[in-house]
């Protein structure tokens, strides 16, 4: 472990592919805080995990004082309030930015359309393209916010990319061929590619063994 990592007795309950869990892990990566990670099976959730949060959805962060944070955006803000060497939270302190509103737009309205596009067989397959187009309209707003630097705020990654790009990745995965050939917002495409190619994302997507109970192997992230 490199000397610039901060050891904390935190436990993150996660699921590798979940965009909200990816968001939480990214914030931990950028904070340089090292914590215990427990990879959960969403089909067979451990009782201990369910008891921590009635919602029983990842991510869930168990703090050192045994209090629980079970909203991904709250995990991001809390972790980075502890250590933010890359100053990802700076947009939150800029009175000209409405970060919470914009991220909430993706967490709610965009996610609503994303699920019905990506998992159309679970909803109404005939409405798939309608939801794809509705999600694309929201992505146009994101495209408009990306500056000539390739980032939303300043010339480096911020809380905007950490929170939004994992959801954009899900949108791309729903139909990569359509995204590559027909999705017309080039700044979003370039931002997503840089994100996926980054060391931060590669570390964040490392595979961990499934955690079943307190007898399971202890693993750490990052």
pLDDT digits (tens, 9 = 90+) for 43-91: 999 999 999 988 889 999 999 999 999 999 999 999 999 999 999 999 9
Q: What's the average model confidence in pLDDT over 8-20? A: 94
Domains of the chain in sequence order: 6-86+205-221 (3.40.30.10), 90-200 (1.20.1050.10)
pLDDT in tens, 130-175: 999 999 999 999 999 999 999 999 999 999 999 999 999 999 999 9
Token pair 């063994």 in the structure block, residue: 209
- Residue 2: what pLDDT? 45
Contact 203, 33 (CB under 8 A): no
Contact 161, 91 (CB under 8 A): no
- Residue 124: what pLDDT? 84
- Residue 122: what pLDDT? 86
Question: How far apart, in Å, are the Cα atoms of 213 and each of 13, 57, 67, 105?
Answer: 12, 17, 19, 36
Sign of CA dihedral 148, 152, 153, 157: negative
State the Cα–Cα distance between residues 154 and 147, nearest whole angstrom.
8
pLDDT in tens, 2-13: 446 676 789 999
Token pair 């991220």 in the structure block, residue: 103
State the Cα–Cα distance between residues 45 and 53, nearest whole angstrom.
12
- Percentage of the chain surpassing pLDDT 70? 97
* Whether residue 198 has pLDDT greater than 90: yes
Predicted confidence band at 116 (pLDDT cuts at 50, 70, 90)? very high
Residues 6+ apart with CB under 8 A from 3: none
Residues 6+ apart with CB under 8 A from 189: 179, 180, 183
* Whether residue 17 has pLDDT greater than 80: yes
For residue 212, report the phi and psi dihedrals to the nearest 5 degrees.
Answer: -110, -45
Whole-number mean pLDDT of the chain? 94
Burial 125-150 (b: 16+ CB within 10 A, else e): eeebeebbebbbebbeebbebbeeee
- Residue 1: what pLDDT? 40
Q: What's the average model confidence in pLDDT over 25-54? A: 94
Q: Whole-model pTM? A: 0.93
- Residue 220: what pLDDT? 95
* Whether residue 214 has pLDDT greater than 90: no
Strand partners, 36: 11, 220
């Amino acid at each position: 472990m490199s000397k610039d990592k901060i050891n904390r007795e935190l436990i993150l309950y996660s699921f590798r592919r979940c965009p909200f869990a990816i968001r939480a892990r990214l914030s931990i990566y950028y904070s340089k805080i090292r914590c215990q990670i427990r990879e959960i099976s969403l089909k067979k959730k451990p009782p201990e995990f369910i008891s921590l949060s009635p919602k029983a959805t990842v991510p869930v962060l168990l703090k050192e004082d045994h209090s629980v944070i079970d909203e991904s955006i709250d995990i991001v803000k809390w972790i980075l309030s502890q250590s933010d060497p890359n100053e990802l939270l700076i947009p939150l302190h800029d009175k000209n930015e409405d970060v919470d509103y914009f991220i909430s737009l993706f967490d709610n309205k965009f996610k609503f359309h994303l699920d019905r596009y990506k998992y159309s067989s679970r909803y109404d397959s005939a409405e798939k393209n309608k939801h794809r187009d509705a999600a694309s309209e929201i992505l146009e707003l994101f495209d408009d916010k990306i500056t000539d630097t390739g980032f939303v705020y300043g010339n480096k990654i911020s809380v905007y990319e950490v929170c939004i790009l994992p959801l954009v990745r899900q949108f791309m995965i729903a139909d990569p061929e359509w995204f590559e050939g027909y999705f017309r917002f080039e700044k979003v495409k370039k931002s997503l590619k840089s994100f996926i190619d980054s060391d931060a994302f590669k570390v964040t997507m490392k595979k961990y063994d499934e955690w079943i109970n307190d007898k399971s192997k202890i693993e750490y992230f990052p």
